[in-house]
């Protein structure tokens, strides 16, 4: 009984193996056959369309349609068309490839001359001539290079304008716009430095107090009319240009402040109890020049 049960189990095991092998074979056949049948039918449709276009002398369109046929080893390949049709398609394909190379060369030339719009137009024309994945990849790489070069040129232009504006008018608006083109890593740092520099620069009306207790107000660069029409000492009116901003004392220089800088007090009215707070007088122009 034991031997009989063992033989039955062995037989069942072999039957299961045979069934699994048959099922696997059927699945493999379906996995190979179904796509092959589908692609063969699709190939034939594309080939028929290519032949119809070739018969109408639309050879460029026939090339594009024929390239839609699959060419996969062990599955399907492009169907062969009549010799005259194949000759016409191959001739048109060679012309297509020459036009594609010419358009790409033109795009590269325009890019080297920084003529970005013309380069992009040529690259898009080349893209319309592509049929294979490799051709599309090469043209897309050219388009990406054009886009990157154009963005960098635009960035550099904004940066140059921004730097000029900062130097001339202390503005940072253009730098903020340049920041939107993040193709150069130093843009953000430059913007932050410009903002910090602007915050450090004094503005009209700012006041400071120096080490000898003089209160100074900031006078920015600019122009104004000095002099008046009345009085011989006030005319004639003339334009004065201040090329660089400076701090000017808000009040008269006291005797104590003058002495702290010049080392002497030329005033004729000195009162000890005032602590040197009286204005300094009897100062000649040449004597008032600050020592370096």
CB 162 within 8 A of CB 174: yes
| Among candidate residues 133, 129, 108, the one with its CA nearest the CA of residue 118 | 108
Alpha carbon distance, N-terminus to C-terminus of the chain: 124
pLDDT tens string 235-246: 788 888 988 888
DSSP summary character for residue 79: P
Q: Which two tokens stand for residue 2?
A: 């034991």
pLDDT tens string 37-90: 888 888 888 888 888 888 888 888 888 888 888 776 667 778 888 888 888 888
CB 156 within 8 A of CB 143: no
pLDDT at 92 > cutoff 80: yes
- In Å, how far are 124, 151, 197, 234, 254 from 246, measured between CA atoms? 58, 41, 17, 24, 20
Determine the distance from the C-alpha atom of residue 79 to the mean position of all C-alpha atoms in its chain, rounded to a whole number: 47
Calculate mean pLDDT across residues 273-285.
80
Q: Where are the alpha helices (DSSP H) in 113-246?
A: 116-128, 133-169, 173-179, 187-200
Calculate mean pLDDT across residues 91-119.
91
Q: What is the pLDDT at residue 292?
A: 46
- pTM exceeds 0.75, yes or no: no
pLDDT at 291 > cutoff 80: no
């Amino acid at each position: 009984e034991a031997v009989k049960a063992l033989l039955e189990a062995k037989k069942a095991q072999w039957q299961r193996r045979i069934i699994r092998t048959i099922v696997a074979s059927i699945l493999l056949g379906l996995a190979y056959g179904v796509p092959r049948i589908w692609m063969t039918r699709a190939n034939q449709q594309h080939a028929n369309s290519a032949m119809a276009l070739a018969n109408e002398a639309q050879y460029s369109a026939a090339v594009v349609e024929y390239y839609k046929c699959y060419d996969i080893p062990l599955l399907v390949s492009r169907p062969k068309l009549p010799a005259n049709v194949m000759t016409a398609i191959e001739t048109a394909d060679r012309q297509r490839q020459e036009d594609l190379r010419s358009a790409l060369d033109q795009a590269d030339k325009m890019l080297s001359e920084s003529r970005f719009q013309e380069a992009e137009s040529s690259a898009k024309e080349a893209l319309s001539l592509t049929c294979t994945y490799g051709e599309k990849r090469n043209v897309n790489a050219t388009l990406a290079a054009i886009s990157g070069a154009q963005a960098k040129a635009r960035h550099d232009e904004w940066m140059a304008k921004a730097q000029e504006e900062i130097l001339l008018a202390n503005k940072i608006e253009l730098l903020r716009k340049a920041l939107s083109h993040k193709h150069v890593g130093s843009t953000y740092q430059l913007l932050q430095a410009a903002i910090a520099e602007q915050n450090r620069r004094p503005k009209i009306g700012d006041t400071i107090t120096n080490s000898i207790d003089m209160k100074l107000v900031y006078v920015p660069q600019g122009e104004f009319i000095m002099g008046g029409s009345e009085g011989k000492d006030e005319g004639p009116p003339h334009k004065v240009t201040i090329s660089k901003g400076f701090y000017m004392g808000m009040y008269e220089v006291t005797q104590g402040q003058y002495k702290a800088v010049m080392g002497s007090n030329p005033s004729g009215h000195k009162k000890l109890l005032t602590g040197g707070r009286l204005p300094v007088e009897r100062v000649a122009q040449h004597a008032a020049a600050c020592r370096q």
